[in-house]
Amino acid sequence: MDFKNKKVLVCGLAKSGQAAAMLLAKQGAKVVAQDLKTDISLEHENISLYLGKNPDDIIENFDLVVISPGLSINLPFLEKARLIWSEVELAYRFCPCPIVAITGTNGKTTVTTIVGEILQKYNNNTVVLGNIGIPFSEHVMALKPDNWVVAEISSFQLEAAHEFAPKVSAVLNMTPDHLDRHKTMDIYQYTKEKIFAKQKAEDYAVLGYDNPITKGMRPTCNTVFFSAKEKLEVGVFLDDGMIRARLFGRDITIVDVYRTKILPENALAATALALCAGVPPEIIAEALLEFKGVTHRMEFVAEVKGVEFYNDSKATNTDSAVKGLEAMHKPVVLIGGGYDKKSGFDDWVKLFDGKVKKLILMGETAEQIIETCNNFGFESYSKVDSLHEAVEMAYAEAEAGDCVLLSPACASWDMFDNFEQRGDLFKELVLESAEIMI
């Protein structure tokens, strides 16, 4: 689409919305930038602001509407739009280089970060963009054909994707999440599958074999599975702790996963993606061993008097919290609870017996989790009103040889702006209490 003098409405002016508006304005589009907030400044001669209200009365006047990830495509005022794109769809139309795009319910950020580091070691023209916090639209015009883009892509960004077609895609896993927005698992799955829907036959889609939903997906391009549980005839898998790949007519041993600081599923997925992007196995192994971890995802905070503290604030759903708890090999004082995303907690609570010595709950879902605990006969729990109280109780309950794990299994929006704020406060409180004890 030639945007010269096209009338475009950009809805939602967080980082990606502002980046989209500026990209369009620089291409000569006549942009109206809308947000319900009023304290927004965005200066360009081709941008006018429409703040403090929904654009119901003007939306029919635009050739294109670009929506931020925070806005559902099903909002009533969008029914009047002629054409709706996500910010990622917009950026893709300008991208001159191959894209590795990663989605899934859990592990997106970690896998995106790992793959970014692997590809940067192989090709220093690799850039990491997308839902990881760096808007695609902000950087796309600086990209050249010899670049690679590694992009984390959320289901929210895929809702209004149409022609988006990465060279290598991944759906890591799928479990119930964001059903407050997507309403059903069928819709959620359909949205995730848009990441590979437009790929060409020669492209690659990487899928989790251990997850029944992703295992059942059928891309029309080359499909590569990864598994932590099965020794695959073709794919990437674990063999006695070693990452092996049977791909492209080769049987390759990459590295001992337990020498890395990475959950096995994430290491396998990253390996599969990197191999599909053409990275040599020895570079993959080197990058996996060097990887230091991701903030807020099983992040070691401190050891205080023999008690280890871990920040897993990014565990915003049950499946992610299950993986965090499974990674713990010591008695756990667990801090959980938060915003209600309308998903259950059975699979998480089933793991508590013999593993969690004390559960400390906070937030909207505390009573729901308590009810689940009672159903499974787990009684070692307490409810608190704040993260500050939770950390105080964790210090009181934990003994040398234990670990304290913040892994909420819930989003943060009932008490915090985002999971980063929650995790940062946890780390701050842990370290403050440690100083007092010392």
Closest Cα partner for 219 from 152, 149, 165, 154?
165
Between 2.40.50.140, 3.90.1150.10, 3.40.50.720, 2.120.10.30, what CATH number should domain 7-82 receive?
3.40.50.720
Range(s) for CATH 3.90.190.20 in the chain? 299-437
Closest Cα partner for 311 from 390, 239, 229?
390
Q: What is the dihedral of CA 258, 263, 269, 270, to 10 degrees?
A: -70
Centroid of chain to Cα 268: 17
Q: What is the pLDDT of residue 333?
A: 98
Mutual orientation of helices 281-290 and 264-276 as an angle, nearest 10°? Answer: 150
Q: What is the pLDDT of residue 294?
A: 80
Inter-residue contact 158 to 180 (CB < 8 Å): no
CA–CA gap between residue 409 and residue 432 (Å, rounded): 25
Question: Strands 242-247 and 235-239: what pairing?
Answer: antiparallel
Range(s) for CATH 3.40.50.720 in the chain? 7-82
Structure tokens at 280: 């040599």
Q: What is the pLDDT of residue 435?
A: 72
Strand order in the sheet with 332-336: 299-304, 307-311, 403-406, 332-336, 356-361, 381-383
- Architecture field, domain 299-437: Alpha-Beta Complex (3.90)
Closest Cα partner for 397 from 347, 311, 342, 331?
331
Inter-residue contact 410 to 341 (CB < 8 Å): yes
Contacts of 2 (CB under 8 A, 6+ apart): none
Structure tokens at 202: 């020669």
Q: What is the pLDDT of residue 176?
A: 73
Contacts of 250 (CB under 8 A, 6+ apart): none
For domain 90-290, say whether CATH 3.30.950.10 is its number: no
Q: What is the pLDDT of residue 182?
A: 64
The ranges of the chain with pLDDT < 50 are: none
Structure tokens at 24: 């369009």
Please give the model's pTM, rounded to 2 decimal places: 0.79
CA distances for 67 relative to 90, 363, 397, 406, angstroms: 10, 30, 47, 33
- Bridge partners (DSSP) of residue 408 are none
CA distances for 190 relative to 132, 159, 359, 384, 394, angstroms: 22, 9, 36, 38, 41
Q: What is the pLDDT of residue 178?
A: 64
Structure tokens at 93: 């139309």
Inter-residue contact 50 to 17 (CB < 8 Å): no
